[in-house]
A and B are shown apart, each in its own frame.
Chain A
């Protein structure tokens, strides 16, 4: 456990001190503030536009941080040969993968909390209708990105960092459409198509299951119970993917 925490803390320092992250966050804040302009040209829907646009910006920049940093975390250690320092000490491959993931979770939590609070204050100051649901939506974006970070780390143990980033983005897009794949299993009689659809539905994380953006703008959304259950599902998905990443990484020699 000591080793996991040490690696997590080190990864947090590595990522939070990365200047690229600072640049991404500045861009994100500018983009969120850009919602002010969109709000000003929409008739009577200023608050809704700001929230919609702001949450999209939080998701987009959160995704960039998640895939690009997660993809390079393991590779950097191998390429710069810092793995020699780590694995010559009593550090298991599982501790390494878990520590790296938790460290990145810490960074992602700080980044999303910063963007979420900024968006909340902006909506509260300009439109005056900021609600707690806005912060819940940001929390659910965090839960979605946990799954993407885990998947990207898994891909980075198999191939290059660029490939892992691309695949991470693909899984994010596919995860938003996961419920459509489920609908395919109910259409037609072809058992092969049905089976394939089920496989895709199980392998790709169902990210839309915790999407509560509609609730932020007053539309019907998931109940608290559904949010809890689907969040647990995504956390279990993360555990399974990290276990697979550890299995792959265990085979590597340095």
Chain B
């Protein structure tokens, strides 16, 4: 925690990986700069392969940066919640067991853990499926239990990678409601999405990435002032 004015600050972030037998060099991030302010609902946009997921992974320590820095505005990952893209969870556990397991990883005491698990199961609409093994969950149910596990520690900063993927319209409304509630409770949310109507509806600020760099960042209103829709603005930024 270095900057009290930022919930997350990414400075000149580079990431290079070596793939294949011949260790071919692939540059994924080419100097990403990003600032997420406290209580922002921040949309990280970009075409596939732009480096959105890698940026989030480096922020969480799942990948090491080749250069540059990540500064979390919270005291460590115990105050961060994360939903991975296309999540897969332990299918031999029930929804309730899985959330309890995540609570234990944060060292929550048993009473608080039980309370949080039940409240989150209610919030994401999985009360009736709580004792069903995750292998029997639909994709939408997995996405919802994924969001619940990201919130088990009541995080200050929530990173959601494609949270609307695989959800039916009802599920999308529920996830949007959860994100709005987090915003109202003073939390900071950063999410990646290709569904620009959701981004326009939920986000206070956005950043658009292309080819490993942030090419535009600002408020959603600023983007909408320059184009009739966020989709038009996005297309203009990523194609020019």
Residues of A participating in the B interface, judged by any CB pair closer than 8 Å: 2-3, 5-7, 9-10, 13-14, 17-18, 80-91, 253-254
Contact = CB atoms under 8 A, between A and B. Distances in A.
Interface in B100-116: 101-102, 104-107
Contact of B60 (A14, A18, A82, A88): A88
B62 A10 contact: no
A14 B80 contact: no
Nearest to B100: A6
B191 interface: no
Contacts of A18: 92
A14 B89 CA distance: 12
Contacts of A86: 105
Given A84-B84, A85-B149, A90-B105, A254 B89 contact: no
Contacts of B17: 253
B228 interface: no
Interface in B171-223: none
A6 B62 contact: no
A254 B105 contact: no
Nearest to A11: B90
B93 interface: yes
28 contacts: A3-B104, A6-B101, A6-B104, A9-B101, A14-B90, A14-B92, A17-B92, A80-B88, A81-B84, A81-B86, A81-B87, A81-B88, A82-B90, A84-B62, A84-B87, A88-B60, A88-B61, A88-B62, A88-B82, A89-B77, A89-B78, A89-B105, A89-B106, A89-B153, A90-B77, A253-B17, A253-B63, A254-B62
Nearest to B17: A253
Given A10-B93, A13-B92, A91 B105 contact: yes
B76 interface: yes
A89 B17 CA distance: 24
B107 A3 contact: yes
A89 B90 contact: no
B76 A82 contact: no
B139 interface: no
A3 B82 CA distance: 17
A254 to B, nearest CB: 5
B57 interface: yes
Interface string B56-91: 010011111000000000001110101010111110
The secondary-structure label for the interface of chain B is loop
Contacts of A2: 104-105, 107
A179 B60 CA distance: 48
Interface residues of B, number: 29
B53 to A, nearest CB: 10
A85 B98 CA distance: 11
A12 to B, nearest CB: 11
A88 B81 CA distance: 8
A10 B93 CA distance: 9
A250 to B, nearest CB: 11
Given A2-B107, A6-B101, A87 B87 contact: no
A40 B235 CA distance: 82
Nearest to A84: B84
Contacts of A6: 101, 104-105
Contact of B80 (A9, A17, A88): A88
Contact of A82 (B64, B80, B89): B89
A85 B92 contact: no
A10 B82 contact: no
Most buried by B among A2, A7, A14, A17: A2
B77 A85 contact: no
A85 B107 contact: no
Contact of A13 (B57, B93, B106): B93
A115 to B, nearest CB: 23
B88 A90 contact: no
A23 to B, nearest CB: 16
Contact of A90 (B57, B63, B90, B106): B106
The 8 closest A-B pairs by CB, nearest first: A6-B104, A88-B82, A84-B84, A2-B107, A89-B105, A253-B63, A90-B78, A88-B60
Contacts of B153: 89
